[in-house]
Amino acid sequence: MSGSFRERFDRMVATLRAHPQVEVYEAVVRPGAREEELVAAEAALKMPLPTDMRTFYAAHDGVFLEWGRRGRTYDARTEPFGYPDYGQPPGCINLLPVGEAMSTQWQSSGHVNEIQAEHQALLFGDRLDPEPVVGAVCVDNFARYNHGDLIVGPEPVMVVSTDHGADMDSSDYTTFSVYLDATLALWGANRYRHGLGIGWSRTSRRMEAWTARPSLDELLNMLDDDE
């Protein structure tokens, strides 16, 4: 899928809106973050943002989308850049503004678990010494039970945690750019269940590119199988 993130996102939303079985509830793209906001986010992490993530936030400081099956009632709708609840619609992208994402509150509030030494060794080749000031943050708060998290290290990587963020080991890992590719390719459907999550089937591995690109009809059939 070629083009900038915004171009690809807009094409995806247009396709969703045109499908007779889909209802788009809300789509929000915030203006880019100011330089001082990016600098403050890096100060919170005590490290530079990955280049692809910094470029993303400079263009749009938060992106939200939620969609469901037309005519179907869901228990809860997600507020843009808020906290999803159980029973939400199946399609949600909730890429948080940089100031909300790059914060120590994710670990202090228990939404993101502390990274274990063996996980650091898997992701970065060895245990980190010294330990980073912030081990991980939530970047894409797309579901109550799962979210896309940035794990901080020499080359920060994205994983999709499960169990409300307590389990960060049963996901493949990748760059932020590839995570965005997967998110768009999956039409905003759950990135753990249909994307990077592996359960305990094998050791997690680095994904250098995202190649699974179901059509919207194929994705809807996959969602029907989940129910």
CATH number, domain of 73, equals: 3.40.1580.10
Mean predicted confidence (pLDDT) in 142-146: 97
Number of domains in the chain: 1
The model's pLDDT over 52-90, given as tens digits with 9 standing for 90+, comes to 999 999 999 999 999 999 999 999 999 999 999 999 999
Q: How confident is the model at residue 1 (pLDDT cuts 50, 70, 90)?
A: low
Query: Is 227's pLDDT higher than 70?
Result: no
The model's pLDDT over 105-132, given as tens digits with 9 standing for 90+, comes to 998 888 898 888 888 999 999 999 888 8
Q: Is 2 exposed, middle or buried (0-12, 13-18, 19+ CB in 10 A)?
A: exposed
For position 131, what pLDDT does the model report?
87
Which residues 6+ apart lie within 8 Å of 140 measured at CB? 93, 94, 95, 96, 147, 148, 179, 183, 191
* pTM value surpassing 0.85: yes
Residue 96 belongs to domain spanning: 5-226
Question: Do 132 and 46 meet the contact criterion of CB atoms below 8 Å apart?
Answer: yes
